[in-house]
């Protein structure tokens, strides 16, 4: 359970500005302000204010509201009347909403209090969604960084240290360790560690059978979650100031002899000096990261066995890794898209609720128009985000079973879908009687993506020539279908070529999935893609896919 979010990670400043403006208008007051607070802060922080040339309340007012967790009304002669209500997030007070009226005789009614509490609840609801989205985004990026390391490095120590670092960062822990089982001896060997105070003695410590939390997880093969380890006699004290702990097992497939059983590979353990620092949501996240560690360990072990084997086995390994990465990223993307839809989908309803509330409120026509315009903007932007999410994660949707496909026919379909203007010269050089390939409907999107990229690359060039070739070839004893797509665009800069296949390496107006998605899909099909480019002359992409034998 991460508590150390920055205020701008919990509250959207633009939304808060709208909240304080609505608070001023709806209560017919003269100004308003919103303070953020969490347990790690010394004092509340003013994040938004409206129509205040100075702060008419003392600094202690927000703290009094937070300490009492109740409404505070202050009226004094010759001083502005004040009304302050707390804002709760995850059952904890996370802020204070204050309105001020310059008229000392102003008396706030129960209706005023209820209305201000409703706005505070709306701010809390929006902040909860913002926090969840920030956390999911951090998790998605962490998983992506790990996946890049998995596919680009065979250095197990580096990958395991990255996984542990991301785990500590995402759940707000202070110490962590990742131990791998040594099957010959049953020892849990330290492979990665994080935090201060790791002396040579602590680094050398290896839990014995039946000793410590790591061994308990190894024996029971299920997660461990303890809000106060001082009450657990099994806990081995390495760091005196640690109070709570969470640990998950690293479980992998056991092999052909028992495909249902799970093989225990190690333990991922995190600690914090706070009590009750972790929750079940952290356990679920660590389970996902543990699976990444399992993949890293299994990949390293497999590489040690297969590095002396034929190139064909190496190609098969790359294909499997690509398929695993596609599955992991597809599941993560689908889950993230679902959550974003759930979060953003509530905004139009919230806007309608605010609009309904305003129906009964007395608001000047000019102000009502301003409010309606902003609510419409929220609804419009929400719709745009939902469409963007659908487009962003479209490549990961199920595209049906594998089929025998005619590549020449797919290339013609892709050319039609690209809608090239007449100023583009298209040169087709298709081999007749081309062998078929085995793939699914997404293959036409692969060709369409390459053609559209070529179209964009030639927008500003005088010569706009697109050459598309298809041919078959025999390579290493296997028959392949080769597609070559060349353009006369400006070319790709050398500095971008080095990382062009990585995710989030987007071009202008791109989303960063295109080339990563292309390569991962093609490798998953057992194929390969290469790119050559020269600035000022153009770019050529070459796709190779295994041909299937005629029936």
The full DSSP string for 56-119 is -S-THHHHHHHHHTS-EEE--TTS-EEEEEEEEETTEEEEEEEEEES-TT----HHHHHHHHHH
Give the pLDDT confidence score for residue 150 in this predicted structure. 60
At 209 the pLDDT is 67
Cα–Cα dist 310/316, whole Å? 10
Fold classification of 153-307 is Beta-Lactamase (3.30.450)
Where residue 308 falls among pLDDT bands split at 50, 70, 90? very low
Q: What was the pLDDT predicted at 271?
A: 92
Confidence bin at 2 (pLDDT 50/70/90): very low
Backbone angles phi, psi at 297, to 5 degrees: -65, -45
Given 3.40.50.460, 3.30.160.100, 3.30.450.40, 3.40.190.10, which CATH number is that of 1-125? 3.30.450.40
Contact (Cβ atoms closer than 8 angstroms) between residue 162 and residue 179: no
Strand (E) or helix (H) holding 409 = helix 407-418
Are 131 and 160 contacting, i.e. CB atoms less than 8 angstroms apart?
no
Q: What is the mean pLDDT of the chain?
A: 81
**pLDDT tens for each residue of 213-264:** 888 998 889 999 999 988 888 888 888 899 999 999 999 865 544 444 578 8
What tokens were used for 318? 């790359």
**Average pLDDT estimate for 58-86:** 91
Identical fold for domains 1-125 and 153-307, yes or no, is: yes
pLDDT at 426: 93
> What is the biggest distance separating any 2 CA atoms in the chain, rounded to whole angstroms?
96
- Do 545 and 527 touch, CB atoms closer than 8 A? yes
Q: Which DSSP helix (H) or strand (E) runs through 467?
A: strand 465-475
The pTM of this model reads 0.41
| Nearest-angstrom CA–CA distance, 326 and 324 | 5
Helix/strand/coil for 408 = helix
**In angstroms, how far is CA 331 from the centroid of its own chain?**
12
* pLDDT tens-digit series, residues 373-417: 888 888 787 777 776 666 556 555 555 678 899 999 999 999 999
- Pairwise CA distance, residues 132 & 443, whole Å: 35
> Distance between CA atoms of 445 and 422, rounded to whole angstroms?
22
How confident is the model over 171-208, as pLDDT tens digits?
888 999 999 888 888 888 999 999 999 999 999 988 87
Burial of 210 (0-12, 13-18, 19+ CB in 10 A): exposed
CATH architecture assignment, domain 403-546: 2-Layer Sandwich (3.30)
Give residue limits of the domains in the chain: 1-125, 153-307, 403-546
Are the CB atoms for 70 and 82 separated by under 8 Å? no
């Amino acid at each position: 359970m991460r508590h150390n979010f920055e205020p701008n990670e919990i509250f959207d400043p633009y939304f808060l500005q709208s909240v304080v403006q609505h608070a001023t208008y709806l209560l017919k007051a003269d100004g308003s302000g919103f303070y953020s607070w969490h347990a790690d802060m010394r004092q509340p922080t003013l994040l938004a204010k409206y129509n205040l040339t100075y702060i008419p309340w003392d600094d202690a007012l927000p703290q009094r509201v937070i300490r009492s967790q109740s409404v505070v009304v202050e009226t004094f002669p010759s001083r502005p009347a004040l009304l302050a209500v707390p804002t709760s997030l995850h059952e904890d007070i996370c802020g204070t909403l204050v309105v001020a009226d310059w008229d000392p005789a102003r008396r706030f009614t129960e209706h005023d209090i209820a209305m201000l509490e409703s706005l505070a609840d709306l701010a809390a609801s929006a902040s909860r969604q913002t926090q969840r989205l920030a956390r999911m985004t951090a998790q998605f990026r962490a998983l992506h960084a790990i996946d890049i390391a998995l596919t680009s490095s065979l250095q197990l120590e580096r990958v395991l240290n990255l996984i542990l670092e991301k785990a500590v960062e995402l759940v707000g822990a202070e110490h962590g360790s990742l131990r791998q089982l040594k099957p010959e001896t049953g020892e849990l060997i330290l492979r990665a560690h994080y935090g201060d105070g790791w002396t040579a003695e602590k680094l050398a410590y290896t839990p014995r059978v039946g000793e410590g939390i790591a061994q308990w997880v190894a024996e029971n093969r299920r997660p461990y979650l303890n809000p106060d380890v001082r009450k657990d006699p099994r806990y081995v004290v390495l760091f005196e100031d640690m109070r709570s702990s969470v640990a998950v097992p690293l479980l992998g497939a056991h092999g052909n002899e028992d495909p249902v059983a799970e093989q225990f590979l190690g333990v991922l353990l995190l600690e914090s000096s706070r009590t009750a620092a972790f929750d079940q949501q952290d356990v679920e996240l660590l389970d996902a990261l543990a699976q990444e560690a399992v993949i890293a360990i299994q990949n390293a072990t497999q590489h040690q066995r297969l590095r002396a084997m034929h190139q064909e086995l190496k190609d098969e390994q790359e294909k499997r890794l690509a398929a695993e990465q596609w599955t992991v990223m597809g599941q993560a993307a689908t889950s993230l898209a679902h959550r974003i839809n759930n979060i953003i989908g509530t905004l139009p309803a919230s806007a309608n609720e605010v609009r309904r509330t305003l129906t009964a409120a007395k608001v000047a026509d000019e102000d009502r128009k301003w409010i309606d315009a902003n609510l419409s903007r929220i609804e419009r932007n929400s719709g745009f985000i939902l469409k963007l999410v659908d487009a962003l994660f479209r490549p990961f949707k199920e595209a049906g079973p594998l089929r025998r496909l005619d590549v020449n026919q797919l290339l013609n379909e892709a050319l039609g879908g690209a809608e090239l203007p007449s100023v583009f010269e298209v040169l087709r050089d298709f081999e007749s009687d081309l062998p078929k390939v085995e793939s699914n409907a997404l293959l036409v999107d692969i060709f369409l993506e390459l053609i559209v990229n070529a179209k964009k690359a030639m927008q500003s060039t005088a010569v706009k020539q697109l050459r598309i070739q298809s041919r078959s070839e025999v390579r290493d004893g296997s028959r392949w279908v080769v597609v070559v797509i060349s353009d006369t665009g400006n070319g790709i800069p050398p500095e971008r070529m080095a990382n062009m296949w990585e995710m989030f390496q987007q071009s202008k107006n791109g989303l960063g999935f295109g080339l990563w998605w292309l390569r991962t899909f093609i490798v998953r099909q057992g194929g390969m893609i290469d790119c050559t480019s020269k600035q000022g002359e153009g770019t050529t992409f070459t796709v190779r896919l295994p041909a299937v034998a005629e029936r």
